[in-house]
A and B are shown apart, each in its own frame.
Chain A
Amino acid sequence: MGAAPRNLLAGLLLVATPAGPGSAGELPIVDAHIHYSADAWEMLPPEDAVRLLREAGIRRAFVSSSSDDGTQKLLAAAPDLIVPVLRPYRRRGELSTWMHDPAIVAHLEDRLARFRYAGMGEFHVYGGDADLPVVRRMVELARGHGLFLHAHSDAAAVERLFAQDPDARILWAHSGFDGPGNVRTMLERHPRLWCDLAFRSDHAPGGRLDPEWRALLEDFPDRFMLGTDTFAPERWHSVGRHAAWSRGWLAELAPPLAERIAWRNAEALAGAAGAGR
């Protein structure tokens, strides 16, 4: 991506940054884990998807899709709302094979030449596979374009990604589905690691914050963000519920921290991508 598109993204983020509570007085949310893949398009056209996000009080959504055309459709429908993230998947069904397919590199280079993005992902890679040539090239492309990596990975793969690019910014999808102890260890070790809390509820079982997770959120106030994960298209209809559920446990935290987790941390990550490094 050239300088002009990157600056365009930075400008867009600046203009659209929420300044406070939403119109209904509710806490704005940036949903950092949304997919709009091909199987969603018929039953959930872009206008419906955008409406669901706005009704949920989502002020920005990190969207990655299989294929990336889904992200572009949403971005065209709501440029103020959508933060585009590029998956290394051309279509559904490549989740567990992409890292072995050299053609993925050309796919990424093509999309990067034509569109603007804030991040690269969400991709799935585990353990030693993170050192495969396709993954390495993806990391190089992300570095070259100033993009964060949205990694659905175990801690071992995250370590390998950071070994490839110590300056990378990695958004750890689902916080690796790791326990709070291991997440803490990773956050202590890697100051450029962020965590989304998508598709997990152990941090707030029954809607109440778990004490160990609460301590983790308080000790790392700049590192966590929210996400619904619309891995199946029907789950778009849960975005509002998820936002409401999240606001419930966020209300247990001091308002400044709740705001950071709800939207400020994600805005900062996307903004850093838009501004380059």
Chain B
Amino acid sequence: MTGRALARIAAAVVAVLLSAGAAADAGAADPAETARILRHGPWPMPWRPDPGNRLSGDAAAAALGRALFADPRLSADGSVACATCHRPDLHWTDGRPRSAGLAAGDRNAPSLVDVRRWRWFGWDGASDSLWAASLRPVLDPREMGGSIAALAGLVRGDPVLAGLYRQALGRAPLADDTALAVDAAKALAAFQETLASGRSPFDRFRDGLAAGDADAVSAYPADARRGLALFVGRGNCSVCHLGPAFTSGEFEDVGVGYFLERGRVDPGRADGIARLKASPFNRLGPWGDGGGADAAATRHVASQPRDFGLFKVPSLRNVARTAPYMHHGRLATLEAVVRHYSEVDEERLHPGRARLVRPLRLSEGEAADLVAFLRSLTSDER
């Protein structure tokens, strides 16, 4: 698109805002802002299978993964399935502040929608592949408390699962426990790869902006449009919640506390890197299918003092469906999230680097606009 075309569209947006009586500031639709908006699309983005998972993108493997995902026998006492904390009816979360498997957990269950796109998995990035991230909770004593041997034994011994395995892998379940459990984890990943979000009102606005479609642009609610201007402008939100997926995929400190109780904190990324490096199931290990060629990030990531208390930047697509919020689920609503950013204690944030998060001091109307924008990221499908 030429600069002149962008300018024409920007002018059209200004006209729409003025006609709607919008309170957006005069510079809200300048070419620079328009360019920032366009960078949040198009959606959906192309996706390529994970080179570290030979079952990635395979429908038969996804069928096995779907069955495993709902099966509570993966847990030590048969009471907890993956779907316990990632419920299909709750946008693949559990709606609780902090999840509980066999024991109470410390973190909020993130949605699995669009999970195929991430580089790091979990709030602390302790896994570098979706299949390894799928195996982790199975083995965690507080979550499912399972074991490699038990998982392998289940797939090997259950006729339905063994049949699905044969269809996916073209052979009988392996005799080696670890190899078979890894196959099961890769099938779990193949299933979760199918959980993809669709298009939202924001996407239609954004594409209308790109195409010069005045009808599509004007159909976008005025409050969401004002909130979008804040999001890509004064709010600085799009620095971390960037691109079509509305996330950098990396880790940040946004000024939320991470004490768990007296004497205990959640170290976030600092521990995540340590666990990633120690895991035999990372991309540098023998169980991936990428031969190490897909492991550059894992090879080079190193824990630094500043990683303490950092948590993953979540995608904002369908964020209205994934309450409560933050790694510990302590913010119950989107309104509370916006209030947090409006009033954030800036002394909790280190001022040494270019500070991304500052108290936005939003008016009531501005806060409502920002929430309206976030709700406009809700895709059409349920």
A residues contacting B by CB (< 8 A) are: 37, 39, 43-45, 48, 66, 92-93, 95-96, 124, 152, 174, 177, 199-201, 205-207, 228-229, 231-235, 237-238, 241-242, 245
Cβ of B306 < 8 Å from any Cβ of A?
A: yes
A-B contact pairs, 23 of them (CB 8 A): A43-B259, A43-B261, A45-B262, A48-B262, A48-B263, A66-B347, A95-B346, A95-B351, A152-B352, A174-B352, A177-B352, A199-B350, A201-B304, A201-B305, A201-B306, A205-B304, A229-B350, A232-B348, A234-B257, A234-B258, A234-B309, A238-B308, A241-B308
B219 located at the interface, meaning its Cβ lies under 8 Å from any Cβ of chain A in the complex: no
User: Which residues of chain B are within 8 angstroms of A96 by Cβ–Cβ distance?
Assistant: 346
With the chains together, A199 CA to B353 CA distance in Å?
Answer: 10
Alpha-carbon distance A201/B265, docked complex (angstroms): 22
| A206 CB to nearest chain B CB (Å) | 4
Partner pick for A231 among B263, B350, B353, CB 8 A cutoff: B350
Q: Tell me if B305 and A237 are in contact (CB < 8 A).
A: no
Q: Is the interface of B mostly helix, strand, loop or mixed?
A: loop
CB distance from B267 to the nearest CB of A (A): 7
From B259, B346, B352, A199 is in contact (CB under 8 Å) with B352
How many A-B residue pairs lie within 8 Å, measured between CB atoms?
A: 74
**Shortest beta-carbon contacts, A-B, top 6:** A201-B304, A206-B302, A238-B308, A234-B265, A237-B265, A232-B348
Q: How many residues of B contact A (CB 8 A)?
A: 26
Q: Which residues of A contact B348 (CB under 8 A)?
A: 39, 231-232
Could you tell me the distance between the alpha carbons of A95 and B346 in the complex, rounded to whole angstroms? 9
Contact of A43 among B262, B309, B345, B353 (CB under 8 A): B262
B308 closest partner in A (C-beta): A238
B255-271 near A? 1/0 per residue, CB < 8 Å: 00111011111010010
Partner of A232, one of B261, B267, B309: B309
Residue on B nearest A208 in the bound complex, by CB: B302
B265 neighbours in A (Cβ, 8 Å): 234, 237
Query: Known pairs A37-B347, A237-B265. 15 more at Cβ < 8 A?
Result: A39-B348, A43-B259, A48-B263, A93-B346, A152-B351, A177-B352, A177-B353, A201-B306, A231-B347, A232-B348, A234-B265, A237-B267, A238-B309, A241-B305, A245-B305
Which chain A residues lie closer than 8 Å to B302 at the CB level? Answer: 205-207
8 A Cβ contacts from B296-321 to A: 302, 304-306, 308-309
Q: Smallest CB-CB separation from A204: which chain B residue?
A: B304
Taking each of B259, B262, B305, B309, which has the highest tally of chain A beta carbons within 10 Å of its own beta carbon? B305
Chain A residue with Cβ nearest B348: A232
A66 (CB) vs chain B CBs: closest residue: B347
Residues of A within 8 A of B270 (CB): 238, 241
* Chain A proximity mask over B328-355: 1 for CB below 8 Å, otherwise 0: 0000000000000000011111111100
